[in-house]
């Protein structure tokens, strides 16, 4: 989907600086994983990858979501409905199953990387730490965010 497309939808723009070539961009785990896993109803959709050679800036254009799970639960005075939690857990399991069937494991599943839209749609995001089951060991022992 191009940026000049009259049917363009609302999107999220993720800007990642300091890349040197298109080849380097195409070997990024995040870009490779998002391309390999799309389309899936519970994986954040990557619409386009743009690279500005002059500035070394990589731009990922993804679908727009409302918030992440952390934002949903932070400061709440009431519990999230059990049926909503059940659906979100089911959708999260479907996203992980899809990743694992495609030989990829996420390695950084946390509330900030689980996005929701309209309180009904859940999508897993942030594939920067993912690895292929076929990648060479050793795997990094500790990669997730410290609380």
Alpha carbon distance 139, 107 (integer Å): 10
Q: How far is CA 2 from the centre of its chain?
A: 20
Residue 108 bears catalytic tag: yes
Alpha carbon distance 109, 93 (integer Å): 11
Q: How far is CA 28 from the centre of its chain?
A: 13
Spot the catalytic one: 66, 91, 108, 119: 108
Catalytic machinery residues: 108
């Amino acid at each position: 989907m191009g940026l000049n497309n009259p049917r363009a939808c609302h999107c999220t723009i993720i800007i990642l600086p300091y890349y040197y070539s298109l080849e380097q961009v195409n070997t990024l785990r995040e870009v490779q994983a998002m391309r390999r896993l799309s389309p899936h109803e519970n994986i954040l959709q990557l619409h386009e990858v743009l690279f500005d050679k002059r500035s070394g800036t990589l731009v990922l254009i993804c679908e727009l979501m409302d918030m992440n799970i952390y934002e949903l639960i932070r400061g709440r005075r009431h519990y999230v409905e059990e049926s909503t939690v059940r659906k979100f857990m089911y959708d999260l399991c479907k996203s992980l199953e899809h990743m694992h069937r495609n030989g990829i494991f996420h390695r950084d599943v946390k509330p900030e990387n689980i996005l929701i839209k309209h309180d009904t749609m859940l999508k897993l995001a942030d594939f920067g730490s993912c690895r292929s089951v076929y990648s060479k060991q050793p795997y990094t022992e500790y990669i997730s965010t410290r609380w």
